[in-house]
Amino acid sequence: MDFGEADRCLYAAHSTESILPISPTERVSIASIVSGKSFSSSYRSSGRSNMDQEFQCGTISYLTLEALRHYQKNFSKTFHQSQVEEKVYEPGIFVTSERIMKMVAKLLHIGVDSPDPKSTMYQPIVFNCSSKAPFLLELFSRSMWLLSRTRREMKVSTITDYPKVMQVLEKQLQMVLSRRPKDFERLTAYMTEITFEEVLAKWQEEKDQEFVDLQNNNASIIELKESLSKENEQYVIHQRINVLKVGQVFPKVTEKKTGKYIFVQLSRNEKELFIFDIKNSKYTEQMSLQDKISIGDITHIATGLNCKHVRLCKSPYLAFSLIINSEKYVNFIADDEKMACYWTDAFHILTNTPRRSTYYQEELDTIVEMDVRLKLLELQNVVIPKVPPPVPPPPIEKPSVTPRTKILSNNRY
């Protein structure tokens, strides 16, 4: 998209009601700005003199003044549009242009007293531009245009929102320069792509990554996670046991085939496992007790490819078996992998086996992360030091304490 075409789209969305009163001898309208024909000669002649006068007052720097002249000369329509908007929304084009120029210089590391030897700042577009269109001045001009678009996207109408707009604009320029465009066409295209919504998504991504780094690298947070992990693990254990107490319907596996259904349920005292025969998987009212297994008789829990009936399953992760007294096999086929992991986790817990599924650790990590986030909310964005502060030494002398008997005697009077 051509920069001039983007400017024409920008002007069409404004009306003459957005212009603040100017000098009585000058007449400016959006129509005259777009056409460039009915523009008063006094306004044309006073353009540069006003900028020179503002510069002499010490408001803007030499570099900003040169950038404004380049902006007015090469992109006159966009320049006048910026003038109109800055008069409407304040604080004025000179204050805004000076701040944008400082922002661009900061992003490009211009004017730094001691350059960072580890910096990777490199812009190939610098070597692909001519002396008539210097990179710094062209970037400034496009930044002024981007400011107008960002202000409309954020629906800003008051001066109180001005710092927020500049903060978003700085992030947009940072994201554009990180792509290292090779010419001005790509530079303008990148500016068009990076909208206010893109900036919000980028900030959220950086915030999440910052939280992950804090969790993994900060010693105090790691210690907090360990204490919370021990507390929250009991919730996961209770959830697994409750799944068995509620019970579930499984296909009945006999002689390497499936036919009827069974309903398996753990007793309330968590010592026995009841297996009922049922005729239909949807109705469990009419059940007949087929078998009763003591939890203490379970010697091993086989899963996946270690099960003999794995060929009857759609996936090997759905199969698991209970080996009773190293002789009898009770085979199960779960509806999905998650439910199979729930049941095997519960059996491992009941038999005091340390083995756990991936779902077990994922759910525990999720609960711990939620608790850590709640704990950090109480800090209200206070920076957590990486190293704990040193413990102060004990006092050299103990403070003198008045005997209690003497205090009581004095209170009597």
CA distance 4 to 10: 10
pLDDT band at 405 (very low <50, low <70, confident <90, very high): low
Out of 11-15, 118-122, 226-230, give the one with best mean pLDDT.
226-230
CATH code given to domain 231-361: 2.30.29.30
Residue 285 has a pLDDT of 64
Residue % of the chain over a pLDDT of 90: 20
CA distance 192 to 146: 8
Q: How many other CB atoms sit within 10 Å of the CB of residue 23?
A: 11
CA distance 112 to 334: 65
The mean pLDDT of 129-157, rounded to a whole number, is: 88
Residue 389 has a pLDDT of 80
pLDDT band at 121 (very low <50, low <70, confident <90, very high): confident
Q: What is the pLDDT of residues 72-84, one digit of tens each?
A: 898 888 888 888 8
The mean pLDDT of 363-392, rounded to a whole number, is: 85
Residue 2 has a pLDDT of 38
Taking 70 as the threshold, does the pLDDT of residue 150 lie above it?
A: yes
CB 271 within 8 A of CB 278: no
Lowest-pLDDT range, 49-58, 139-148, 255-264, 275-284? Answer: 49-58
Q: How many other CB atoms sit within 10 Å of the CB of residue 5?
A: 10
CB 375 within 8 A of CB 383: no
Residue 361 has a pLDDT of 93
Residue 408 has a pLDDT of 53
The mean pLDDT of 51-57, rounded to a whole number, is: 46
pLDDT band at 258 (very low <50, low <70, confident <90, very high): low
CA distances from 281 to 101, 108, 260, 276, 307 (A): 72, 69, 8, 12, 23
CA distance 311 to 318: 11
Cα torsion through 56, 61, 63, 64, rounded to 10? -90
Residue 245 has a pLDDT of 92
CA distances from 109 to 102, 104, 113, 141 (A): 10, 8, 10, 19
Taking 80 as the threshold, does the pLDDT of residue 367 lie above it?
A: yes
Interacting residues of 102 by C-beta distance below 8 A, sequence separation 6+: none
CB 287 within 8 A of CB 277: yes
Task: Count the alpha carbons within 13 Å of 286 in the hemisphere toward its beta carbon.
Answer: 2
CA distance 21 to 40: 15
Taken in order 117, 123, 128, 130, is the CA torsion positive or negative?
Answer: negative
Residue 168 has a pLDDT of 93
Taking 60 as the threshold, does the pLDDT of residue 25 lie above it?
A: no
Q: Is 315 left (phi over 0), alpha (psi -120 to 50) or beta?
A: beta
Taken in order 306, 309, 312, 317, is the CA torsion positive or negative?
Answer: negative
Taking 70 as the threshold, does the pLDDT of residue 21 lie above it?
A: no
The domain limits of the chain are 3-112+120-207, 231-361
Task: Count the alpha carbons within 13 Å of 313 in the hemisphere toward its beta carbon.
Answer: 25
